[in-house]
Structure 1
Amino acid sequence: MNTNSVVIEEDSEEDEAQEEENKAEEVVVRPRRKLTSPVWKEFKKVKVKNMMKAKCNWCSKKLGGEPRNGTKHLLDHLKICPYRKRPADTKKQTSLRYSSNVQGGKVAVENYTFDQDVARKALGSMILLHDYPLSIVDHIGFRKFVSALQPLFKMVRRNTIRSDILDSCKIEKKRAINYMEKNKSRVAITTDMWTSEHQKRGYMAITAHFVDESWKLQSYIMRFIYVPAPHTARVIAEILHDALVEWYLEDKCTSS
């Protein structure tokens, strides 16, 4: 127990140190003489806290950039950089090739392609599907588990995954609006409103129901919104009207 806790603390401190370095102000340095090594086509020299660093153009990782450091460590980094584009790679994909041997519980994979963007979308979908807290991406145990499954995955912070989820919701909402705009059937609207016991604040969910071209009943939650007090008929009507206009449904609603 004690050994594990020490390891977790050390890893946490290392992550925090790396994050602080990434946030530190950096100044691009233009060398006085031309750099002859081809590795500098994929790195640039920057100065961080008065220290010379070599910043990878692909993953933004900063390595030692002093002349005494040489370039071997930079070449080694390019071989394993998960974001570096290779001739067969597209959209930040990294291909891994292993032998097909299976030994002692280790399963080898051949011609596997890793995509950071796809993995991030899957992470956001998992959080939405199971209603996990955004802070799960900061949990040491979860980060270690993901690293063990896929070392190439670059774990994000909670604000980043929050932005990913919001962007995904905007895309899905736009797709749903476009679909319902083209739909020719009439639409029925239902609302459900309640007040939070602790905050004493009112919320309303607006749902659209319609029959699609295959004669199947479809239901879309158009809006889940806070309703300011007092909850008068005028306030509720204005919110409902705004939702109908946003979804281009003001002329498609069934009459009462």
Structure 2
Amino acid sequence: MIILKLYIEIMKRGPKTSSTVWEHFKKTEEKKVTCNICKNEFKYSGNTSNLREHLKRKHPASLFPQREPKEDADENVVTSVARSSQEIESSSHNSCILPTNITANNQEKPLSKSKGSRQLKLFGSTRGDGLTPEMKDKLDKALLQMIVIDYQPLSIVENKGFINYSNNLNPHYQLPSRKLLTSVWLENFYQEESRKVKTMLTDVANVAATTDIWTSDSNKAYISVTIHFIYNDQMFSRNIATKELEDVHHTGENIARALNSIFQEWNINNKIVTVVSDNGANIKNAIRQMNVHHHPCIAHTLNLTVNESLDNIPLLNTVIKKCRSLVGHFKHSVAASQILKEMQIQMNLPILKVKQDVRTRWNSCLIMMERLLKI
């Protein structure tokens, strides 16, 4: 009779609530429940259909995917109960049989996946990942815009930290591959934005351009062009091209050919009123060949003026050289930098580091000397 008493005791406990909606609701009274998210109260009479509909309509972001039942745990419990029943049976010499359909949840159900596979799926989509195609498309575009606006490398989608961050934001969103971003999404985004700019330029009469030549880490030369124009009484600036220079010789003729090619592509070759660039002889020559007004970069002009002035003052030039030597000592010695920091702490002074000047940034020379005076 011990086995029978054990079975009766288990059955008295009754079935436990297994519906996934109960992760978002709490029973407050016998026939009332409260939503854990919005704190609204609902009637409950043994059926969770109204609770499930509330989650679908009001809190879709809180829904979760289908989960498979933990068969191993169930089997272990059944095996343990069966083993205990056999031991008790042998000691009591009774022939009472314990039903084999008692599981870890104390529910009467056959030991199969059929019930677990019918677990509620609360997404409003039939996709296995829980995202509609529209939602997936929206997230892909937002990712690409972040990469373009913040100048992030396309390889960011392969970084483990970013993948983990994305999974925590939305575990159902699968990041696109780097190849897909490069060959499909980036090209589509460029074409879409290009059409928008070209549409605006059709109603623009005058366009100013800024250009410069730079060299990449792979030792390839590129020319960049940014245009500035007024559309609907608003000022716009758009970087329309970063093009590799085909000829290794950056002569005025080759640069003029590259600029004309870019302007013709955007249908603005007859709308350019001025081009801003540095004071390099080759770029000035290129703009002159295009019969366009050249506007020298003010920052570059100031830089040349200040550097020339400093070079013509021997005493000041000597002071600047000594400052550079002093800063270089601390920049190239970890031990010296640590000693400087310890002395500042000992004297209750602000912990400041030396600043190195850059010749192409004329104000950096002033910043360097001001920092040395503060230290």
Q: Give the TM-score of the pair, scaled to structure 1.
A: 0.52
81 and 134 in structure 1: CA distance in 2 versus 1, 3 angstrom threshold? farther
Q: Is the 8 A contact 1:207 1:223 kept in 2?
A: yes
Matched residue pairs, number?
158
Question: C-alpha separation between the residues in 2 aligned to 1:82 and 1:121?
Answer: 22
Q: Is the 8 A contact 1:203 1:226 kept in 2?
A: yes
* 2:238 maps to 1:225: no
Q: Is the 8 A contact 1:84 1:92 kept in 2?
A: no
* 2:197 maps to 1:176: yes
Aligned residue type for 2:165: F
| Residue equivalent to 1:92 | 133
Q: What's the CA shift string for 1:197-220, capped at 9, x where partnerless?
A: x54332111122222231x43222
Shift, 1:80, TM fit: 7.2
Pick from 170, 182, 185 the counterpart of residue 150 of structure 1: 170
3-state DSSP of counterpart to 1:219: strand
Question: C-alpha separation between the residues in 2 aligned to 1:80 and 1:157?
Answer: 28
Pick from 229, 232, 242 the counterpart of residue 261 of structure 2: 242
160 and 200 in structure 1: CA distance in 2 versus 1, 3 angstrom threshold? closer
Q: Is the 8 A contact 1:186 1:252 kept in 2?
A: yes
Shift, 1:129, TM fit: 3.0
Shift, 1:127, TM fit: 2.2
Q: What's the CA shift string for 1:40-68, capped at 9, x where partnerless?
A: xxxxxxxxxxxxxxxxxxxxxxxxxxxxx
Aligned residue type for 2:156: I
Shift, 1:230, TM fit: 1.2
Relative to total residues, which structure has the larger strand share, 1 or 2?
1
3-state DSSP of counterpart to 1:147: helix
- Please give the residue correspondences for 1:57-206 in structure 2 after superposition, counting only pairs within 5 Å: 79=121, 84=126, 92-93=133-134, 115-162=135-182, 163-183=184-204, 185-196=205-216, 198-206=217-225
Question: C-alpha separation between the residues in 2 aligned to 1:116 and 1:235?
Answer: 45
3-state DSSP of counterpart to 2:175: coil
Q: What's the CA shift string for 1:14-47, capped at 9, x where partnerless?
A: xxxxxxxxxxxxxxxxxxxxxxxxxxxxxxxxxx
Q: Is the 8 A contact 1:181 1:247 kept in 2?
A: no
Q: Is the 8 A contact 2:203 2:231 kept in 1?
A: no
Q: State the percentage of identical aligned residues.
A: 25
3-state DSSP of counterpart to 2:224: strand
Aligned residue type for 1:171: E
Shift, 1:123, TM fit: 1.3
Question: C-alpha separation between the residues in 1 aligned to 2:200 and 2:119?
Answer: 46
Question: C-alpha separation between the residues in 2 aligned to 1:249 and 1:124?
Answer: 28
Question: C-alpha separation between the residues in 2 aligned to 1:127 and 1:144?
Answer: 17
213 and 127 in structure 1: CA distance in 2 versus 1, 3 angstrom threshold? closer
Q: What's the CA shift string for 1:71-102, capped at 9, x where partnerless?
A: 979x86995788638xxxx9724xxxxxxxxx
| Residue equivalent to 1:3 | none
120 and 186 in structure 1: CA distance in 2 versus 1, 3 angstrom threshold? same
Q: Is the 8 A contact 1:211 1:217 kept in 2?
A: yes
167 and 180 in structure 1: CA distance in 2 versus 1, 3 angstrom threshold? same
Shift, 1:242, TM fit: 1.4
Question: C-alpha separation between the residues in 2 aligned to 1:76 and 1:131?
Answer: 46
CA RMSD of aligned residues (A): 3.3
Q: Is the 8 A contact 1:83 1:92 kept in 2?
A: no
Larger Rg: 2
137 and 207 in structure 1: CA distance in 2 versus 1, 3 angstrom threshold? closer
83 and 231 in structure 1: CA distance in 2 versus 1, 3 angstrom threshold? farther
Relative to total residues, which structure has the larger helix share, 1 or 2?
2
207 and 91 in structure 1: CA distance in 2 versus 1, 3 angstrom threshold? same
Q: What's the CA shift string for 1:82-131, capped at 9, x where partnerless?
A: 8638xxxx9724xxxxxxxxxxxxxxxxxxxxx11111111112222333
Q: Give the TM-score of the pair, scaled to structure 2.
A: 0.37
Pick from 227, 235, 243 the counterpart of residue 208 of structure 1: 227
Question: C-alpha separation between the residues in 1 aligned to 2:231 and 2:186?
Answer: 28
| Residue equivalent to 1:50 | none
| Residue equivalent to 1:34 | none
| Residue equivalent to 1:26 | none
Unaligned ranges ≥5, structure 1: 1-70, 94-114
